[in-house]
């Protein structure tokens, strides 16, 4: 049976294996295999996306990026093979707002391989890779993302995703779900549930839930061990530092790097910066995390104490005003500021724009001169590991795990979402453990198993001294 929104088996379709097979998007969307929705919606979709030009060269470049990523995503590959056979997402319309780059494309195609009709846009105005977006469109995915979009264009693309009336949402930061609840409430009856990728999005969802305003179940992908043990710690740490070094070409060894926040992301960044020879200072508002940073061997101090001595400042909190205007005047001339948390609110960029003379030094670096000093801001205060021209996001192997959680959580939501109450739900432990076992299998690693006696002992209360 043909699958809505893609070829009957996109991975086995020779036409889709040839770069440039569908150089014109409007021809692709008009092809009978790809329009399975009612005629009125099909006409709307064609009208909306006909203006998108797919460049054959950029599409080929994007396709090569996706194929490179696939080589290092064995867990998602195993899931895709099962999805092709079982079609667990048949009939589902999935609306996504994620960073549109090669690793996300592998997830998107995995969901499509499972029978879903997929509509995707970006979750950050600067993180989309246009060549990957072109490759997705050419393979039958409804992709509305583009790099360097305006605020209005950003939300217009979110509206286009919601126009598809998704049954399941997948979010990174909760912009899609927020807009669904505040501006597109007529779509709510079609939604079974959603999945949220990141810490900031979970904070927003839990605030909605506490106020009784979250109207469908959402799985907290971010909070499960197979996500935050690897994505937040290793992914953020490596990718943020890689982007900083590639964008600035500075040496990390010997630098005083100030890491704001010591959650999973801050911990990973601080540890990896130290491994490169940096002298790391941690700032925190949570006394427990501050003490943990101290026992882990880092200097701990308040931001106003760190401001005069730091050379590179990286925020990892997901909160607002972490680097406020009053700290800028304390910083040394030439200090570098960047954000590895989420939205561009952690650094007071508005103050810099209003009160300092801005100079674009090179792609991804804006210098702000005020008084007797100049400070340098990377990626306009947005995610440094994705929004800089050199930013490629988390390492592929890390996202293999995170997106495997997304894929199986989406399957779980399709099967059980109608039985879940509105609110934030944990990833089922069985899914988390299954992904760990699949990854170990792909690495050729074996582990021990509890004996029957051990299992009984560990689950019994009637044992003691």
Which phi and psi (to 5°) does residue 228 adopt? -75, -20
Closest CA to 298 of 348, 310, 317: 310
The CATH number assigned to the domain with range 232-387 reads: 3.40.50.720
Closest CA to 293 of 258, 338, 321: 258
Q: What distance in Å separates the CA atoms of residue 159 and residue 185, rounded to the nearest whole number?
A: 12
Confidence of residue 424 (pLDDT cuts 50, 70, 90): very high
For domain 14-227+395-442, which CATH number applies: 1.20.1050.10, 3.40.50.1480, 3.30.470.10, 3.40.47.10? 3.40.50.1480
Q: What distance in Å separates the CA atoms of residue 16 and residue 362, rounded to the nearest whole number?
A: 38
**pLDDT exceeds cutoff 80 at 113:** yes
Lowest-confidence pick of 39-53, 100-114, 127-141 = 39-53
Give me the pLDDT at residue 58, please: 85
Question: What integer is the mean pLDDT of 291-306?
Answer: 98
DSSP 97-156: E---SHHHHHHHHHHHHTT-EEEEE-SSTTT--HHHHHHHHHTT-EE---TT--HHHHHH
Confidence of residue 276 (pLDDT cuts 50, 70, 90): very high
Q: What is the pLDDT of residues 27-59, one digit of tens each?
A: 233 232 222 333 222 332 333 433 455 677 889
Give me the pLDDT at residue 53, please: 58
Residue that is written with structure tokens 């910083």 in the block: 331
In the chain, what are the domain boundaries?
14-227+395-442, 232-387
In sign, the C-alpha dihedral spanning 454, 456, 460, 462 is negative
Q: What distance in Å separates the CA atoms of residue 166 and residue 117, rounded to the nearest whole number?
A: 9
DSSP 235-275: IHHHHHHHHHHHHH----TT-EEEEE--SHHHHHHHHHHHH
Which phi and psi (to 5°) does residue 315 adopt? -90, 140
Q: What percent of the chain has pLDDT over 90?
A: 84
More confident residue, 7 or 442: 442
Q: Beta partners for 368?
A: 358, 375
Q: In the numeric block, which tokens belong to residue 383? A: 């995610």
Identical fold, 14-227+395-442 and 232-387: yes
Q: What is the pLDDT of residues 154-208, one digit of tens each?
A: 999 999 999 999 999 999 999 999 999 999 999 999 999 999 999 899 999 999 9
Q: What is the CA radius of gyration of the chain?
A: 23
CA distances from 17 to 72, 106, 225, 461 (A): 19, 15, 36, 58
- Number of Cα atoms under 13 Å in the Cβ half of residue 321: 3
CA 432 to chain centre: 18
Q: Cβ contacts of residue 170 below 8 Å, gap of 6+? A: 94, 95, 96, 97, 98, 176, 194, 195, 197, 406, 410
**pLDDT exceeds cutoff 50 at 14:** no
Give me the pLDDT at residue 57, please: 80
Give me the pLDDT at residue 390, please: 87
Residue that is written with structure tokens 């061990």 in the block: 225
Q: What is the pLDDT of residues 401-420, one digit of tens each?
A: 999 999 999 999 999 999 99
Q: What distance in Å separates the CA atoms of residue 419 and residue 415, rounded to the nearest whole number?
A: 9
H helices of 282-395, in order, are 287-295, 303-306, 325-328, 349-355, 384-387
Q: Beta partners for 193?
A: 168
Q: What distance in Å separates the CA atoms of residue 367 and residue 178, rounded to the nearest whole number?
A: 33
**pLDDT exceeds cutoff 60 at 81:** yes
Q: What angle do CA 221, 224, 228 make, to 5 degrees?
A: 95
């Amino acid at each position: 049976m043909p699958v809505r929104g893609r070829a009957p088996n996109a991975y086995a379709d020779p036409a889709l294996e040839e770069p440039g097979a569908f150089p014109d998007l409007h021809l692709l969307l008009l092809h009978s295999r790809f329009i399975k929705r009612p005629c009125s919606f099909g006409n709307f979709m064609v009208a909306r996306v006909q203006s998108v030009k797919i460049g054959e060269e950029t599409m080929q470049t994007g396709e090569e990026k996706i194929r490179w990523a696939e080589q290092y995503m064995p867990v998602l590959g195993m899931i895709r093979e099962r999805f092709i056979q079982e079609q667990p997402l048949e009939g589902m319309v999935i609306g996504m707002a994620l960073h549109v780059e090669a690793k996300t494309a592998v997830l998107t195609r995995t969901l499509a391989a499972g029978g879903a009709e997929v509509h995707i846009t970006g979750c950050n105005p600067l993180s989309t890779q246009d060549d990957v977006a072109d490759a997705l469109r050419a393979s039958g995915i409804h992709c509305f993302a583009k790099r360097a979009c305006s605020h209005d264009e950003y939300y217009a693309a979110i509206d286009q995703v919601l126009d598809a009336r998704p049954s399941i949402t997948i979010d990174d930061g909760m912009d899609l779900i927020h807009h669904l609840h505040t501006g597109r409430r007529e779509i709510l009856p079609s939604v079974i549930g959603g999945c949220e990728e990141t810490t900031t999005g979970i904070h927003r969802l839990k605030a909605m839930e506490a106020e009784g305003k979250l109207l469908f179940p959402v799985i907290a992908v971010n909070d499960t061990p197979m996500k935050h043990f690897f994505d937040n710690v290793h992914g953020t740490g490596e990718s943020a530092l890689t982007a900083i070094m590639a964008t600035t070409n500075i040496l990390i060894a010997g630098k005083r790097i100030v890491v704001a926040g010591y959650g999973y992301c801050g911990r990973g960044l601080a540890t990896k910066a130290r491994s490169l020879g940096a002298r790391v200072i941690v700032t925190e508002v949570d006394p427990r995390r501050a003490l943990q940073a101290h026992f882990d061997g880092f200097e701990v101090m308040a931001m106003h104490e760190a401001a005069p001595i730091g050379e590179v400042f990286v925020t990892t909190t997901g909160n607002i005003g972490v680097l406020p205007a009053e700290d800028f005047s304390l910083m040394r001339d030439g200090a570098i500021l960047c954000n590895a948390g989420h939205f561009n609110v952690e650094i007071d960029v508005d103050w810099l724009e209003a009160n300092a003379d801005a100079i674009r030094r090179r792609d991804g670096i804006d210098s702000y001169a005020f008084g007797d000093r100049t400070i340098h801001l990377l990626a306009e205060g947005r995610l440094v590991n994705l929004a800089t021209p050199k930013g490629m996001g988390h390492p592929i192997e890390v996202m293999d795990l995170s997106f495997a959680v997304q894929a199986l959580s989406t399957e779980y939501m399709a099967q059980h979402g109608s039985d879940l109450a509105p609110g934030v739900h944990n990833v089922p432990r069985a899914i988390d453990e299954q992904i760990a076992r699949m990854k170990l299998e792909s690495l050729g690693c074996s582990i021990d198993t509890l004996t029957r006696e051990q299992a009984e002992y560990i689950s019994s209360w009637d044992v003691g001294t």
